[in-house]
């Protein structure tokens, strides 16, 4: 996770990308904006992802962008294609407060199942690390140490105490890795063996900093070797990337191979500053879960999105270069194939849109890298679908720009585009979450969302509107 110490400096480095994405080009033809691209896998801005798999379900925990929030983002999926936003009771900025707490928010979670069968979370709150425990990935969670952090901000003065990552070895012994640089200058990585409850140090912390280390450590073990992976560079620019170093024990020493870094910016493909990742294994394959910037890259807006690609650990103790994709591996492809979507051939229109990159047809392209947003000064904004003919609709799913914010609007239907009937009304009780599901059967040719007059246009944006 990054704190905005040098955010202003990042503003200076986007001229080439913004010029590339000028109005003279067709936004729909830019890399990453193609219909049915499966990366990013979540609709919205989520950084520093961590993942656990339990009971046939997958759970992703992530920082709310930009720069964290009062809690974490959490998503649940049974098929790794369609994700539902879940609200956690912990961690929160209010619950994780001590005499060393700073003003920064909640970020950079790491969640694992411990040898005790419980789920354990390490999370950064400001410049300190808190530990949580739960019987289920969705909680209820509680502070494992009551009202104090495991690592206070003054644990090692002069060093940044964030980005803690839990690791459970094959023998059931657990470790914690953490540490970050300051002011975009490379930092130090620390590791400590944990007690069986994963809530206390079992011994002294060691400095195991590998070459080119800035932050975001992640430990993976393959074929008896320990792969300490981490990020370097500046996430507000184009320099953020993923490195790795290899050792024979959890404490190293760790040596960086000559093919590191393994995941870097590809400006030609609009993959900007990939980093702060996790690695997971599914059906015998390894995958890397990471964030990268939204498209088009705008350093004035830190809106990172969560993506998945294949990663390969070789038999000779190396990691192959990762080729970042927009289509994603088969694991995440085919989001809308499992249901009967009636929007084939539909036309989306709107009262306004903020730019050529946020036009209304974006809500029908099955791509979370694109979205519709109303003009910033819009009042009474609306978004409309013409299904081409009268069709039977059984349910609708709306994925707003921010799953944790509230939206006040009505859902309306019409056969002729003149007389409208209310299908759902969220003006008195605002809708929140993602997807916002409307399960009310209607027969109509036209559907529209009409937002409350007092909602700012800049607060109105939708990634996808699926109709079944």
For position 455, what pLDDT does the model report? 97
Cα–Cα distance, 107 to 123 (Å, whole number): 6
Element of type H or E holding 174: strand 174-178
pLDDT at 258 over 90: yes
Element of type H or E holding 291: strand 285-293
Cα–Cα distance, 459 to 450 (Å, whole number): 13
Residue showing tokens 């599914």: 282
Per-residue pLDDT tens for 402-422?
999 999 999 999 999 999 999
Laid out side by side, the sheet with 372-373 consists of: 372-373, 461-467, 396-400, 436-438
How far are the Cα atoms of 58, 230, 446 from residue 237, in angstroms, in the given order? 31, 17, 43
Per-residue pLDDT tens for 162-214?
999 999 999 999 999 999 998 888 999 999 999 999 999 999 999 999 999 99
Would you state the structure tokens that stand for residue 86, as one six-digit string? 């879940």
Task: Give phi and psi for 103, each to the nearest 5.
Answer: -85, -15
Of 210, 261, 217, residue with least CA distance to 239: 261
- Which residues does 61 contact at the CB level (< 8 Å), separation at least 6? 49, 50, 51, 72, 73, 74, 109, 111, 121
pTM above threshold 0.85? yes
Per-residue pLDDT tens for 43-59?
999 999 999 999 999 99
For position 100, what pLDDT does the model report? 81
pLDDT at 8 over 50: no
Q: Domains in the chain, please, with CATH?
A: 7-332 (2.115.10.20), 347-467 (2.60.120.260)
For position 10, what pLDDT does the model report? 40
């Amino acid at each position: 996770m990054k704190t905005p110490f040098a955010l202003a400096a990042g503003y200076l480095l986007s001229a080439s990308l913004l010029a590339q994405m000028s109005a003279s080009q067709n936004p729909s033809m830019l890399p990453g904006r193609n219909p049915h691209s499966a990366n990013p896998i979540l609709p919205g801005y989520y950084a520093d992802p961590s993942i656990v798999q339990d009971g046939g379900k997958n759970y992703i925990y992530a920082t709310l962008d930009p720069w964290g929030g009062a809690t974490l983002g959490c998503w649940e999926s049974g098929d790794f294609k369609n994700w539902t936003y879940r609200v956690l009771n912990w961690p929160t900025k209010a619950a994780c407060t001590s005499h060393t707490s700073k003003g920064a928010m909640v970020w950079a979670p790491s969640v694992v199942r411990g040898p005790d069968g419980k789920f354990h979370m390490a999370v950064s709150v400001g410049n300190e690390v808190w530990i949580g425990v739960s019987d289920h990935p969705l909680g209820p969670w509680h502070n494992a140490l009551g009202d104090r952090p495991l690592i206070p901000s003054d644990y090692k003065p002069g060093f940044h105490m964030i980005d803690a990552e839990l690791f459970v070895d094959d023998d059931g012994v657990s470790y914690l890795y953490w540490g970050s640089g300051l002011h975009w200058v490379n930092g130090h990585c620390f590791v400590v063996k944990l007690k069986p409850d994963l809530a206390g140090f079992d011994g002294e912390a060691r400095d195991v900093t590998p070459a080119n280390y800035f932050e975001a450590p992640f430990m993976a073990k393959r074929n008896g070797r320990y792969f300490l992976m981490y990020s370097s560079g500046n996430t507000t620019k184009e320099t953020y990337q993923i490195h790795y170093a290899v050792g024979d024990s959890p404490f190293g020493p760790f040596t960086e191979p000559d093919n590191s870094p393994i995941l870097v910016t590809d400006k030609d493909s609009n993959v900007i500053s990939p980093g702060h990742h996790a690695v997971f294994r599914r059906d015998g394959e390894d995958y890397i879960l990471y964030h990268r910037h939204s498209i088009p890259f705008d350093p004035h807006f830190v809106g990172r999105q969560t993506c998945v690609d294949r990663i390969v650990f070789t038999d000779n103790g190396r990691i192959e270069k990762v080729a970042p994709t927009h289509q994603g591996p088969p694991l995440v492809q085919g989001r809308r194939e499992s249901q009967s979507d009636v929007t084939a051939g539909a036309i989306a229109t709107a009262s306004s849109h903020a730019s050529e990159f946020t036009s209304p047809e974006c809500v029908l392209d099955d791509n979370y890298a694109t979205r519709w947003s109303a003009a910033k000064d819009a009042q009474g904004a609306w978004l409309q679908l013409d299904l081409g003919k009268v069709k039977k609709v059984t349910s609708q799913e709306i994925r707003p720009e921010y799953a944790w914010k509230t939206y006040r609007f009505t859902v309306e239907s019409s056969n002729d585009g003149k007389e409208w009937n209310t299908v759902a009304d969220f003006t008195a009780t605002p809708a929140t979450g993602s997807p916002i599901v409307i399960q009310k059967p209607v027969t109509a040719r036209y559907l529209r969302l009409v937002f409350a007059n007092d909602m700012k246009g800049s607060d109105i944006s939708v990634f996808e509107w699926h109709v079944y």
